[in-house]
Structure 1
């Protein structure tokens, strides 16, 4: 079986569509756009390199990508299904030409409703248990990890935004983070007092850590090797504590799920979509409306509070 990079596979797939399938240039452009979007998602959220091999992709990566298409962007389930079709066609081509043994997109179901998927998030008691597990950890990086996780839970940053934070992005006077986020958009995120305190405790610990290069000197969060922390390390850290906390479906707890927890919790408290939109760094408020859902407990409470007839 020949091993090919994602970029090479897309090139061969495009040629197949144009020459063998005789698809129009516009149709091929749509397929290519979907695949490039998927590639950028993998690089941003799973720390894939530019030249990653196609067997590295699994069903979980694809399901997360398609879920975020609905949650983070203003795409409808219809658009999500079209992107799924693009992925299925691409991986079917790879299997048929012996670049892969099986199609990881084959068992992913299409959306059967126009209703947007509700985001997965932690309930308050789960989040408390999760943070308690980090606080009680014996890891030498406990303070760093606690600061990272609190920034996700109290500020809702994307993982790509967090790993790119520099020391200069912290404004202790305003108790906030100021940085450029997705789309090079300037972001201002106020910090909870508990987060500020945790960051200050971590900074004392950070002073003792060796810095490998100039980039590490300015980076807020460092790896065990003295580099700027990577997306992959953050993802591993988040999952590790979820397992240690004994959370249900711990393998599905990702930095993105912590961001959803922040957003869902904040909306329940404020009911203000505009504030949430700005804090999450969304371009369009339609992407923020996903957090207006109600959970089963809220629905039951509403029914229980009805007057007697």
Structure 2
């Protein structure tokens, strides 16, 4: 993540913290050196949901910002179980999402009990109810995970069909709607390059959004990305992705008219007369993928499922798990092994075809 993107996230974090209790600000500040800005921003969102629930359920008469430490110490296990039920049944959160929110609360409460100290060297809270809470048990075999993912990815000819749809067919489909048609004509090279890059490299959403012009090596079809854990890596992308990126770069300056200091690869057009170009955010990229996926007739397609699509195709054609692991930036080879299960059906068909 470059300095501009990091500053953007830190500003958003500060906005959220301005309406959260003082001790949350202190906790977030203590984690800025160790956790990514996106993780800290997610923490802030989770805390807002939790403290708003405390207010709505009358655990306190204070506003969200003015909730005190005493309100946290009096919470019971039953109270927290009710909050987790609220997340699941009222907000529709999955067990994985609930685990993430509970982990954020556990980290906060652990800080208040075991790390933060008052002026007389006592912990902020004596009683930590979150320490008694257990995460949801979620056990999925690699085969189960593969089956869950299987219906949400692109297969074989779908790769080029989807790319062609983004580049041309979406515009033709909406020719009668001038606003949508003109917007697509303006952005189609950029959007095609984004889709093609993900399908041709398996990059994560954050990695695509964070690419700068100087990170791209067109001669070697390589892109420099910052992976999880702040690790720098150079990742190969496909020839088709290279062609689409080159097409986008040919019109980037003339069409988007970026400032001289604008280093982001993928940018949005300025809004208004005095508007400035800005880096496409992760959410903007998610939304454009969702838009094309729904129109293409595969509404379950996401940036992440495009990454899965690349990995499945790579494994089917190369059968090289260690190299795939490196390409995807997985810390554990067990994570990569899921794609061996995803391609079982293709392998079966290939063996059967030998009898023809």
User: What TM-score bracket applies, with the shorter chain setting the length?
Assistant: 0.5 to 0.7
Within 2, Cα distance between the matches of 1:231 and 1:172?
23
Deviation at 1:134, TM superposition (A): 1.2
Deviation at 1:132, TM superposition (A): 1.5
Q: 1:191 aligns with which of 221, 237, 240?
A: 237
Within 2, Cα distance between the matches of 1:114 and 1:273?
14
Q: Which residue of 1 aligns with 2:284?
A: 233
TM-score with structure 1 length normalisation? 0.64
Map residues 35-46 of structure 1 onto 2, 5 A cutoff: none
Give structure 1 stretches of 5+ with no counterpart.
36-53, 67-81, 91-107
Question: After the TM superposition, which segments of 4 or more aligned residues of structure 1 sit over 6 Å from their partners?
Answer: 13-17
Within 2, Cα distance between the matches of 1:181 and 1:110?
26
Deviation at 1:280, TM superposition (A): 0.4
Give the paired residue count.
237
Give structure 2 stretches of 5+ with no counterpart.
1-18, 21-44, 60-68, 107-135, 172-183, 271-276
Within 1, Cα distance between the matches of 2:326 and 2:223?
13
- Of the structure 1 ranges 150-159 and 121-130, higher mean CA displacement relative to structure 2 is found in 121-130
Determine whether 1:6 maps to 2:46. yes
Q: Which residue of 2 aligns with 1:152?
A: 198
1:181 to 1:15, Cα distance in 2 relative to 1, 3 A: farther
Higher gyration radius (CA): 2
The answer (yes or no) to whether the contact 2:217–2:223 under 8 Å persists in 1 is yes
* Deviation per residue, 1:155-198 (Å, 9 max, x gap): 01001110110000001232211222221111111222221121
* Deviation per residue, 1:182-233 (Å, 9 max, x gap): 211111112222211211110121112133694xx10000013321001111
Q: 2:318 aligns with which of 242, 245, 270?
A: 270
Q: Which residue of 1 aligns with 2:333?
A: 285
1:213 to 1:172, Cα distance in 2 relative to 1, 3 A: closer
Map residues 86-97 of structure 1 onto 2, 5 A cutoff: 86=102
* Deviation per residue, 1:129-174 (Å, 9 max, x gap): 2112112143110000010001110101001110110000001232
1:146 to 1:8, Cα distance in 2 relative to 1, 3 A: closer
Higher relative contact order (CA 8 A, sep 6+): 1
Within 2, Cα distance between the matches of 1:259 and 1:113?
20
Q: 2:145 aligns with which of 93, 97, 117?
A: 117
Within 1, Cα distance between the matches of 2:91 and 2:286?
16
Determine whether 1:221 maps to 2:253. no
Q: Which residue of 1 aligns with 2:99?
A: 83
Within 1, Cα distance between the matches of 2:259 and 2:211?
17
The answer (yes or no) to whether the contact 1:156–1:258 under 8 Å persists in 2 is yes
